[in-house]
Chain A
Amino acid sequence: MDTLGQIEAKSVYILREAYREFKQLAMLWSIGKDSTVLLWLARKAFFGHVPMPLVHIDTSFKIPQMIAYRDNLARQWNLNIIYGQNKEALDNKETFPDGNVDRLTCCKKLKSEALKATISGECSRYRFDHKQDKYVKDENAEDYTGVIVGARADEEGSRSKERYFSPRDKQSDWDIGDQPPELWNQFKTDFAPGTHVRVHPLLDWTELNIWEYIKKENIPIIPLYFDQGDGRRYRSLGCAPCTGTVESTAKNVDDIIEELRGGKFSNIAERSGRSQDKEDGGGLETLRREGYM
């Protein structure tokens, strides 16, 4: 079995373990390549089905094509998708694009806080109703105690220290100095009531693995990752105001793999287009401790 086969099998095992252990389980879907691979792995694990709701945090500043792509795939694969957002911050214009807060504070409000309130059910959630073909307010406000996330260890420093099953306390805080041991295939799956758990099936995957797997499985990926003719493409997706394109003429998955293997991006960090990473030294770790994905 090759490397892709091995990391696929491990991710599938982790997904099944999460599904077995957590009654209130959800999976985050950011529309990006990683969480779309994660969604595909769920279909692998559950034989074509995705038996848990997919949660999308809508900052309202996402690149517009992302929302259209999300809803198309939801229809095609019959996904149970839910979105939530920090309506208060948006209404009060406490955002970076509105010029009222810095980038990291904006991330904290529109992503960390929105996510926290969405998974706990404190804020309104909207569920895609396949019959009406639109989002309707979700009456079910259950607290998701297990959340599956597509974080990879090679993305940046704080993620490299993550566990496959990572507990967060009631405030979603991450105690990075005292993480549970993980031995062989045994993860921490026993939790005191009130604990939230982040599950990370993609921890061992690299950016290159992700693209090789997309190719192998022929996973439909949002075309924003490809050069549309202007010599630029997105390497990592986020909010439009804070995510830049990179110079690249990669027009398809094969071109991207070539770029990553030996080409121009083999030594340039994937998140180099993400402005919030550069704001201060330990910025992302601070955000992650407070619940950022």
Chain B
Amino acid sequence: MKLEQMKIVIVGHVDHGKSTVIGRLLSDTGSLPEGKLQEVKDRCAKNAKPFEYAFLLDALKDEQSQGITIDSARCFFKTQKRHYIVFDAPGHIEFLKNMVTGAAHAEAALLVIDANEGIQENSKRHGYLLSFLGIKQVSVLVNKMDLVNYDKQVFESIKKEYTEFLNHINVRPDAFVPISAMEGEGIINFSEKMKWYKGKSTLDQLDTFEKEKQVDDKPFRFPVQDIYKFTEEGDDRRIIAGTIESGSISKGDDVVFLPSKKESTIKSVESFNTQTKTSASAPEAIGFTLKEQIYINPGEIMVKKNEAVPHVSSRIKVNIFWMGRAPLIKNKAYKLKIATQRMGVKLVDVLNVIDALELKTVAKKEQVDRYDVAEIILETSKPIAFDLIDQIAGTSRFVLVDNYEIAGGGIVVEGLSDAHTLLEEHVIKREQVWEKGGVGLDEKIVRNKHKPKFIVFCGEEIDQKIQAARLLERRLFENKHQVYYLGLSNVLYGLDSDRISEFEDMDEHIRRLGELARIVTDSGQIFITILSAIDDYDIEKLKILTVPNDFITVLVGENIFNTFVPDLSFDGNNNAQSIANSVYDLLEQKEIIAIEYNI
């Protein structure tokens, strides 16, 4: 018979006996490789060391020398009911990120407390993190009962104190089990030494954990992981690939992609080595083809048109747990990874920092330090699609990356309105302090006999776009206008050569270009440049940055925008000269050029 599998994590303060509990579970369920127990016992005898069950685990993990658990190692054992993968999480504060790694993969947790030492710092911190990571099933093992003479009073007082703490953080423990892992009491069997205890043994308690039911009543969420087309292998399918987070979908259903808002219809459900499928549901890793071919990016969330849609915003209120060596600070770009989206993000405000031990709010802080749990506001460089933690967890959980490292993990608790972005605040401030030269722009306009203008060529027809931009420059120059064409590589290998990571390339490139346009147009020139691979949000951002001036946008090739309407659009069939001429005509119409500026 095929048994189900469940992942559990064992957490608790350092030296409270986690490894001993696992050693016991492995040994007493007969899950050890043959001869392992004897091998470790022999080694102990050889080194004149008393045998401990924790050594067994160390031996399984090749971790003889350290004496403390460093990393979350997986162990495997089985009961009558199911197979278990146990993550042995380290209790040492230094290895908290390893504890979090083990716990984030678990479906249920055992929290170990030393009866003799009582509740310690990491008993509380780990309890708090379990609730944060979304683990709902928790049982508490009160270990080392042999050291307190199996005293019921000791057990009851720990139970009372710890229950109060857990209830505060919304963790409802299923049970408290008094045990002595060292002596094997209460692990597999009911303990003779603790007849006053009427509950289950550790193993029986484990078997009462339930597999989380896949909830099908939630709206459909499909974060797009990638778009495949293996044309060179003779396969013409354009497959949208990903894993369904929640809900289900069928062939023929109307879908919307967020945040782009593009729409299409499911043409087929794609999979390999299965029967032909006409529907799919969570948590399948699957693919779809669409009826209408639309341009979408990995990271968007595909949802059903007639169901509740995720939030779309660039401002989010989140709870975060910070593990980075460097603190989380303002005015620094981080990378946000939420579902399959990746986006540049900045810290806007720290609302609260919560002391995980006392559950008190720490006085107003400006940054989030290592091991802090905080409520903060983040702003992404473009709007993202997400759900709230109490709705759909998979599209609400995120990590923050600082300089290549995952430095924080969090959950979205609220979406905020985009009303006043960091960028707009920046522009307002910039304009307030803008220092004018000795010659006014109006004087320059009179002398140049034209107004300054920022002209952006965008679209996928790259050669045609560059050629048209240059021809426009040539014609304006011949007609004695002050004009400058800025090539893309001049920026990439000059002003942009310090860009620290790929994800914020476009965002930062746009920002620098916008600032440059502000300066060059202030000098009175007509400033022409080109942009590739941009979307609505990039162009809107550029527009904000060029304030108080405006720009002209020229699209060459297939439409890359969803709602933004360029001033001029050309498909691939126009030649470059005719595009340049049309832009020239538009400049005349808009009275940028060819007007008498003599006052």
Identify the A interface with B (CB < 8 A).
1-3, 5-10, 12-13, 16-17, 19-20, 43-49, 51, 78, 153-154, 156-158, 160-161, 163, 176-177, 179-186, 188-192, 203-204, 206, 212, 217, 267-269, 272, 281-282, 284-285
Bound Cα distance from A184 to B411, whole angstroms? 11
Please tell me which one of the listed residues A9, A177, A184 contacts residue B70 in the complex, with CB atoms under 8 A apart: A177
**Interchain CB contact under 8 A, A154 and B235:** no
Would A184 and B501 be within 8 Å (CB), given that A1-B283, A16-B226, A190-B404 are in contact?
no
Q: How far is the CA of A45 from the CA of B7 in the complex (A)?
A: 24
Complex formed: what's the CA distance from A163 to B406 in Å? 13
Take A154-B74, A157-B61, A176-B71 as given contacts and tell me if A47 and B2 are in contact as well, using a CB distance cutoff of 8 Å: no
Q: Is B409 an interface residue (CB 8 A)?
A: yes
Segment from B29-37, B354-362, B462-470 that makes contact with A = B29-37
Inter-subunit contact A186/B337 (CB<8 Å) = yes
Whether A9 lies near B285 (C-beta < 8 A) is yes
> What's the Cα separation between A206 and B76 when bound, in Å?
9
B214: which A residues are within 8 A, CB to CB? 1
Given contacts A46-B230, A182-B101, contact A157 B4 (CB under 8 A): no
* Best-surrounded residue of B32, B100, B298, B337 (most CB of chain A within 10 A): B337
User: Which residues in B have their C-beta under 8 angstroms from that of A217?
Assistant: 273
Q: Please tell me if the beta carbons of A47 and B228 are within 8 angstroms of each other in the complex.
A: yes
Taking residues whose C-beta sits less than 8 angstroms from the other chain, chain B's interface range is 35 or more
Q: Within 8 Å CB of B191, what residues of A?
A: none
* B311-319, B393-401, B509-517: which lies at the interface: B393-401
- B323 at interface, CB cutoff 8 A: yes
Determine if B226 and A19 form an interchain contact, defined as CB atoms under 8 angstroms apart.
yes
Chain A residues closer than 8 Å to B287, beta-carbon distance:
47
In-complex Cβ contact of B71 among A5, A20, A179, A189 (8 A): A179
Shortest Cβ distance from residue B388 to the other chain A in the assembled complex, whole angstroms = 16
Interfacial chain A residues near B323, Cβ < 8 Å: 181
Q: In the assembled complex, which residues on chain A have CB atoms less than 8 Å from the CB atom of B404?
A: 188, 190-192
Of the candidates B64, B75, B406, which one forms a contact with A186 in the assembled complex, judged by CB atoms under 8 Å apart?
Answer: B406
Beta-carbon contact of A44 and B273 below 8 Å: yes
Residues on the B chain within 8 Å of A158, using CB: 61-62
Between-chain CB contacts (< 8 Å), 8 pairs:
A1-B283, A2-B4, A12-B243, A43-B272, A47-B235, A183-B399, A184-B397, A267-B31
Closest to B30 in A: A267
Is the CB of B115 closer than 8 A to any CB of chain A? Answer: no
Closest Cβ of chain B to A178, distance in Å, is 9
* Residues of chain A within 8 A of B73, CB atoms compared: 153, 157, 160-161
- Is B265's CB within 8 Å of the partner chain A? no
B406 A188 Cβ-Cβ under 8 A = yes
Q: Which of chain B's residues 224-246 have a Cβ closer than 8 Å to chain A?
A: 225-226, 228, 230, 233, 235, 237, 239, 241-243
Cβ of B32 and Cβ of A182 under 8 Å apart? no
CB–CB B104/A267 < 8 A: no
15 further contact pairs, Cβ within 8 A, besides A45-B241, A190-B404:
A1-B284, A6-B283, A16-B242, A47-B237, A47-B241, A48-B272, A153-B76, A160-B60, A161-B74, A180-B97, A186-B398, A204-B7, A206-B76, A267-B32, A285-B62
Identify which of A13, A16, A212 gathers the most chain B CB atoms within 10 Å of its CB. Answer: A16
Cβ contact within 8 Å between B273 and A43: yes
**Which residues of chain A are within 8 angstroms of B75 by Cβ–Cβ distance?**
160
| CA of A20 to CA of B223, assembled, Å | 14
Chain B residues contacting A7 (CB-CB under 8 Å) are 5
B172 within 8 A of A: no
Contact of B270 among A5, A10, A47, A156 (CB under 8 A): A47
> Contact at A160–B61, with CB atoms within 8 Å?
yes
Cα(A183)–Cα(B134), bound, Å: 11
Give A239 Cβ to nearest chain B Cβ, in Å. 22
For the complex, give the distance between the alpha carbons of A158 and B61 in Å.
6
Closest A-B pairs by Cβ, 10 of them = A157-B62, A12-B285, A181-B97, A9-B285, A285-B62, A269-B33, A153-B74, A3-B5, A160-B73, A183-B409
Q: Which residues of B contact A5 (CB under 8 A)?
A: 284
Bitwise interface map of B from 483 to 517 toward A, beta carbon under 8 Å scored 1, else 0? 00000000000000000010100000000000000
Cβ of B13 under 8 Å from chain A: no
The reply to whether B230 and A267 contact each other, CB–CB distance below 8 Å, is no
Asked whether B335 is an interface residue with its Cβ less than 8 Å from the other chain, the reply is yes
What's the least CB distance linking A5 to chain B, in Å? 8
Give the residues in chain A near B501, CB-CB below 8 Å.
190
Contact of B391 with A by CB under 8 A: no
Q: Is the beta-carbon distance between B401 and A190 smaller than 8 angstroms? A: yes
Q: Pick from B226, B394, B398 the residue with the most CB of A within 10 Å.
A: B226
- Checking B7, B225, B405 against A20 with a beta-carbon cut-off of 8 angstroms, the contacting residue is B225
Cα distance A206–B409 in the bound complex, in angstroms: 29
Q: In the complex the two chains form, is B285's CB within 8 Å of A49's CB?
A: no
In the complex, the answer to whether A45 meets B285 with C-beta atoms within 8 Å is yes
Q: In the complex, what residues of B have CB within 8 A of residue A156's CB? A: 62
Given A160-B74, A177-B70: A186 touches B399 (CB 8 Å cut-off) = yes
Q: Measured between C-beta atoms, what is the minimum distance from A59 to chain B in Å?
A: 24
- Whether B263 sits at the interface, judged by CB under 8 Å, is no
Residues of B within 8 A of A51 (CB): 230
Residues from chain A with Cβ under 8 Å of B60 in the complex: 157, 160
Q: Are the C-beta atoms of A180 and B243 separated by less than 8 Å?
A: no
Residues in B whose Cβ lies below 8 Å from that of A272: 33
Q: Is B83 among interface residues, defined by CB-CB distance under 8 A?
A: yes
CB distance from B105 to the nearest CB of A (A): 8
Question: Is B441 interfacial (CB-CB < 8 Å)?
Answer: no
Q: How far is the CA of A13 from the CA of B394 in the complex (A)?
A: 14
Contacts of A17 in B (CB 8 A): 225
